[in-house]
């Protein structure tokens, strides 16, 4: 879903995407990362990054194993920065606070 997101963003603003925050590991939340420019800063909880490195199929969906999208794209879209409990990105009106409260939907929910 990366390219459809990029297309929609271009309709809304000429500004480039600079940061992606992955909230958890599932393919429908992280696989589109590879379609964004390699300059984009990808941020995720440390467990989410570990899950991205493995990219196991979602058990409840009975998915067949597929090649790891990040390995297939030479690491493009992989989380570059991680946090354990809390992280603040930006400042002022652009400040975003990320929190980890423990396992929820996945082990790395942010």
In the chain, where the domains are located: 2-99
78 neighbors 66 (Cβ within 8 angstroms): no
Q: What is the mean pLDDT of residues 59-72?
A: 71
Please name which of 17, 35, 48 lies closest in space to residue 76, comparing C-alpha atoms. Answer: 35
7's enclosing H/E stretch is helix 2-12
- Candidate from 12-16, 34-38, 56-60 with smallest mean pLDDT: 56-60
Complete DSSP assignment for 17-86? P-EEEE-S--HHHHGGGGGS-TTSEEEEEHHHHHHHHH----GGGTPPP---HHHHTTTTT--SEEESSE
| pLDDT of 60 | 57
Handedness of CA 16, 21, 23, 28 (dihedral sign): positive
55 neighbors 33 (Cβ within 8 angstroms): no
Residue 88 structure tokens: 């603040």
- Candidate from 12-16, 36-40, 51-55 with smallest mean pLDDT: 51-55
| pLDDT of 108 | 74
- Confidence band of 91 (pLDDT split at 50, 70, 90): very high
Question: What CATH architecture does domain 2-99 belong to?
Answer: 4-Layer Sandwich (3.60)
Chain position carrying tokens 């590879």: 34
Q: What is the mean pLDDT of residues 42-50?
A: 95
């Amino acid at each position: 879903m990366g390219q459809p997101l990029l297309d929609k963003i271009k309709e809304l603003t000429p500004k480039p995407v600079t940061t992606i925050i992955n909230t958890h590991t599932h393919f429908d939340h992280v696989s589109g990362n590879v379609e964004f420019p390699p300059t984009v800063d990808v941020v995720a909880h440390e467990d989410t990054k570990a899950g991205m490195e493995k990219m196991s199929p979602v058990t409840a969906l009975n998915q067949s194993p597929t090649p790891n999208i990040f390995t297939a794209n030479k690491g493009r879209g992989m989380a570059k920065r991680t946090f354990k409990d809390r992280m603040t990105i930006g400042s002022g009106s652009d400040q975003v606070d990320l929190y980890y409260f423990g396992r929820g939907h996945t082990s790395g929910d942010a």
